Amino acid sequence: MSTTTLTPTPTGTGTSAPAAVLHDEGRIGLRGNLRHIGALVRRNLLQIKKDPESMFDALLMPIVFTLLFVYVFGGSVGGSMGGDRQDYLNYLIPGLMAMMGMNIAMAVGSGVNDDFRKGVMDRFRTMPIARSSVLIAKIVVELGRMMVATLILLGMGFALGMELQESVLGLVGAIALSAAFGAAIMWIFILLGLTMKTAQAVQGTGMLVLMPLQFGSSIFAPTQTMPGWLRTFTDYNPLSNLADAARALMMGGPLAHSVWVTLGWTVVITAVTAPLAVSRFRKKS
């Protein structure tokens, strides 16, 4: 058996990396990272192109939700708010915008879980790319899907007669805030997707957590008529804050508190779950 000591020099193995990279730490520069993320985003987009049904949730959810809530609850909730169906539409659409991100985020979790079952993940993880780029590419694509859902939602809203009370800038702000918060929630679901055994489990857990958060909030109805204990919950529910912030940005009203709280949640959730998800991804075997 040979006792040759191996050193990473060209003569040592004859085939090791080109001279330029011999002394580096194997780190990947920003440009390299962006290029890798770009290639992986392309992969995700191609997947959507080949499986257009995977866009159904983003395309149909905003339509179905808007029609259901406006026509089923619109009259009565609008009435109790001291207005009519049209007022409820103005109330609902900013709230639904907050909600779209949650449902898309849940799909990210099961998608990541599914991906891991496939051999291609092993290939990515044996390639000289930052492991986070696989996850970041996923988030970029899902944010795109979320934007599509948001645009359809707004289209529905305007078609049914929604009227912006604030400037277009406010609208853009509301979209940006929803996207930032949605991205933060995606990290949570990526973490879940990497931790749980099956995509179904991720979906099930996601539903269980999201349903109370979505309905126990100010998304669908004002919280004034709710019992005290529930109001405590809804007041602290970050989705209420996001819905209130989006509403204030689009329709006017007190703004600062809800925007700051939402930004706070976004930063904290991302700062905690993103590193956890990346490290989990690294260690997963």
Partner 1 sequence: MVSMTRNDNDLKGGVNAVEVRGLVKHYGGTKALDGVDLDVREGTVLGVLGPNGAGKTTLVRCLSTLIVPDAGHAVVAGWDVVKQPRQLRRTIGLTGQYASVDEKLSGWENLYMIGRLLDLPRRKARSRADELLERFSLTPAARKAAMDYSGGMRRRLDLAASMIGSPAVLYLDEPTTGLDPRTRNEVWDEVQRMVAEGATVLLTTQYMEEAEQLASELTVIDQGRIIARGGVDELKAKVGGRTLQIRPSDPAELAAMAQALREAGLDGVAGAQAVPDEGLLHVPILSDAQLTAVIGLLGTRGFSLAHVATALPSLDEVFLAITGDKATHTETIPQEVAA
List contacts with partner 1 (CB under 8 A).
1-2, 4, 6-9, 11-17, 21, 24-28, 32, 35-36, 38-40, 42-43, 46-47, 50-51, 118-129, 285
- Which is nearer to partner 1, 9 or 167 (by Cβ)? 9
Q: On the CB side of 121, how many CA atoms lie within 13 Å of its CA?
A: 17
Q: Cα Rg for the chain, rounded, in angstroms?
A: 23
Question: Which one-letter amino acid corresponds to residue 279?
Answer: S
* Shortest separation between residue 12's beta carbon and partner 1, angstroms: 5
DSSP string, 83-130: S-HHHHHHHHHHHHHHHHHHHHHHHHHHHHHHHHTSHHHHHHHTSSS-
* Shortest separation between residue 148's beta carbon and partner 1, angstroms: 19
Residue 69 and residue 192 in contact, taking contact as beta carbons nearer than 8 Å: no
> How many angstroms separate the CA atoms of 33 and 278, rounded?
15
- Which is nearer to partner 1, 21 or 172 (by Cβ)? 21
* Shortest separation between residue 44's beta carbon and partner 1, angstroms: 10
* Shortest separation between residue 62's beta carbon and partner 1, angstroms: 25
* Shortest separation between residue 136's beta carbon and partner 1, angstroms: 14
DSSP class of residue 6 equals P
- Which is nearer to partner 1, 36 or 85 (by Cβ)? 36
- Which is nearer to partner 1, 1 or 169 (by Cβ)? 1
- Which is nearer to partner 1, 117 or 257 (by Cβ)? 117
